[in-house]
Amino acid sequence: MKIQIKNFKELSLNELYEILQLRSEVFVVEQDCVYQDIDGKDEKALHILGVKDEKIIAYTRCFNQGDYFKEASIGRVVVKESERKYKYGNVIMEASIKAIETHFNTKIIKISAQVYLNKFYNQLGFKNIGKGYLEDGIPHIAMLRN
């Protein structure tokens, strides 16, 4: 898997379509969650694309400090179901962390993580902060890495 980093204006129409398709495939269909994915925040985000065989199979969007949370943040972390066995989640997250450090000049990163992925994010240096909460009907926890 190759990593590409682009701002919103650098995304081609095909890339944007693939990103939205992947996010819908996982967050709406697979997780059976009706929510507003197209939230008006993609324009501010730095988009981290994991590309394999010319298809986007992994993705995150990253925000600078103050654009989503007070801290820099990573969200919409997604890997195509058929590709998860290759540990691409680790690759896309490590690339996202590095992108935040490089582009936004900070090591402090906050995420809103689905609770069932707590161990995964702990292994990447994120620690739970506060109490769990429901976001779009799915249990989440705020996590911080610094």
For residue 45, being part of any structural domain is answered with yes
For residue 43, being part of any structural domain is answered with yes
Number of domains forming the structure of the chain: 1
Average pLDDT, whole number, for the chain?
96
Tell me what pLDDT residue 25 has. Answer: 96
- At 107, is the pLDDT very low, low, confident or very high (cuts 50, 70, 90)? very high
For residue 87, being part of any structural domain is answered with yes
Please list the alpha-helical segments (H only) found in the chain: 13-23, 88-104, 118-123
Instruction: With CA atoms as reference, report the closest residue to 62 among 82, 41, 83, 79.
Output: 41
Confirm whether pTM is higher than 0.75.
yes
For residue 142, being part of any structural domain is answered with no
For residue 113, being part of any structural domain is answered with no
The boundaries of the domain holding residue 47 are 2-106
Distance CA 50, CA 36 (A): 23
Tell me what pLDDT residue 127 has. Answer: 98
pLDDT of 59 over the 90 cut: yes
Please list the alpha-helical segments (H only) found in 30-130: 88-104, 118-123
For residue 118, being part of any structural domain is answered with no
pLDDT of 40 over the 90 cut: yes
For residue 35, being part of any structural domain is answered with yes
For residue 144, being part of any structural domain is answered with no
Q: Which residues make beta-bridge pairs with 144?
A: 110, 127
Q: Which CATH number characterizes residue 49's domain?
A: 3.40.630.30
Tell me what pLDDT residue 136 has. Answer: 86
CA 102, distance to chain mean position in Å, is 17
pLDDT of 67 over the 90 cut: yes
